Amino acid sequence: MPETLTATAPKQTNTIVHPHYGCAIGAVYSVVAIPGGVPIANCGPGCADKQYCILSSGNGYQGTIGAGGGAMPSVNIGENEVVFGGAKKLDGLVKSALRIMKGDLFVVVTGCSSELVGDDIGSVVRRYQRAGKPVVYADAAGFKGSNITGHLIVVREIIDQFVGEYRGRKKKGLVNLFFEVPYFNTNWRGDFIEMKRILDGAGFTVNVLFGPGSRGVEEWRDIPKAQFNLVVSPWVGLDTAEHLKEKYKQPYLHIPVIPVGEEATTAFIRQVVEFAGIDPAKSEAFIKQEAHYYYYFLEHFSEFFSEFWFGLPSAFTVASDSATNIAMTKFLADQMGIIPVKQIITDNPPEKYRNAISRLYEDLSEGVSAKAEFIEDGYMIEQEIKNTDFGASVPLILGSTWESDVATELKGLLVKVCTPNTEEVVLNRSYIGYRGALTLIEKVYTAAVGGGS
């Protein structure tokens, strides 16, 4: 465990307390999220298990099926492999996994130990590839970055080693979705379901690639056939889309803010339909239907809001990954009229994306803007929230379990929207799109009338 910082800790430190992400080897759970995907953890015995703790059991108790959790094949690198090399042991494990595990795609994800000693994992895996076995390898040592970094590495290696080359025709209306990071984003399963439902309703066929709505390996093989790639995130997936543009000559549409609520989701659909150049008749009919249901429920909510508005939160802060942060901030500021007072981004985006992310907060609503701060250290996040002026109303904090103590100290309301989350069980919940926005409203105002999260 990282050491705890004291109240007199300096601003500059090499220690991060209460991180809101895992390490790169956490990408084994991106493989688990592919139907038919089997990760082979080429790392120490505790590495993959710790990622399970923060990304699954400690993040909404999401659970795993197939080759996740304790069923994951692992080399369990020890002293012998560090001294003499672990390639032989890995070879035996791959052979056993192919024989015992039921899977359509096997991905060897290598952690720190093997990369540091210089094992040639590629030579092991390529023998299986030449034999026609669906095996891929990805170097995702923890020192390379967070589980988001590992996720992007794994996605690219599957595309390059498994999907391979393609020179055929593109299918109009087929879109590859690059969106949230499986398991890392607490609501990822429900969010993928809602995003697929929205795009299906607009007239598209969608390769969602992960989760219950994916056809698994079949969808991955169809990636080169798509008309275009859709990146719905401030930064995650952009490098992948650039790679696919070069590899398969596919254009991409980047929408940096995940849509939440009717206005944002309707605008999102129309932007994607216009980019694709498909007939808007189906999408407009879908929009009309969804708007009808959305405003039906919102009109009923307005009775509660008009009666109890004086006791409801009027200012909020979000401490979360960049995708969740801007989506929640924009919806609450623009659609619910709550004032953003402190927006803290916790997922450590690469420097090259930070200016663009910051600009997303400049026009949240008419006359409303905010400043995004990039902070990884949980102690510093707590101090920032503690010193925030929420005015006379009860503080509303959207964050994680790490923010529980400061929420209690401020007598505030905490709505958990990101990693880690040890106090809720999350199955198919979503806070995005048409339907998810209504769930988010329920969550926020249930916390308000109930006096807690």
Domain boundaries, the chain: 24-163, 171-282, 309-450
Does a cis peptide bond (omega within 30 degrees of 0) precede residue 2? no
Q: State the pTM of this model.
A: 0.92
**Rounded Cα distance, 435 and 293, in Å:** 9
pLDDT, tens digit (0-9, with 9 covering 90-100), for 139-180? 998 889 999 999 999 999 999 999 999 999 999 999 999 999
pLDDT at 142: 85
| Backbone torsion region of residue 65, taken as left when φ is above 0, otherwise alpha when ψ lies between -120 and 50, otherwise beta | beta
pLDDT at 450: 82
**Rounded Cα distance, 119 and 86, in Å:** 7
Give 360's contacts (C-beta < 8 A, 6+ positions apart). Answer: 234, 256, 257, 326, 330, 372
pLDDT at 217: 96
How many residues can be counted in the chain? Answer: 453
Place of tokens 């694709």: 276
In one-letter notation, the amino acid at residue 143 is F
3-state secondary structure of 49: helix
**Rounded Cα distance, 27 and 138, in Å:** 9
Query: Rounded to the nearest 10 degrees, how much is the dihedral formed by the CA atoms of 207, 208, 209, 213?
Result: -110
- Beta sheet of 372-374, edge-to-edge order: 372-374, 339-345, 315-320, 396-399, 413-416
pLDDT at 260: 98
Mean pLDDT by 10 residues, the chain (453 residues): 36 74 94 96 86 92 86 81 72 94 95 80 94 96 92 98 94 97 97 98 98 96 98 98 97 98 98 97 98 97 84 93 98 96 97 97 94 96 96 94 96 96 96 98 91 62
Was domain 171-282 assigned CATH 3.40.50.1980?
yes
Strands (E), 325-447: 339-345, 372-374, 396-399, 413-416
Give 122's contacts (C-beta < 8 A, 6+ positions apart). Answer: 137
Query: Rounded to the nearest 10 degrees, how much is the dihedral formed by the CA atoms of 216, 217, 223, 225?
Result: -110
pLDDT, tens digit (0-9, with 9 covering 90-100), for 318-327? 999 999 999 9
**Rounded Cα distance, 65 and 86, in Å:** 28
pLDDT at 14: 67
Do domains 171-282 and 309-450 share one topology? The answer is: yes
**Rounded Cα distance, 411 and 111, in Å:** 42
Superfamily of domain 309-450: Nitrogenase molybdenum iron protein domain (3.40.50.1980)
Quickly name the fold that domain 24-163 has.
Rossmann fold (3.40.50)
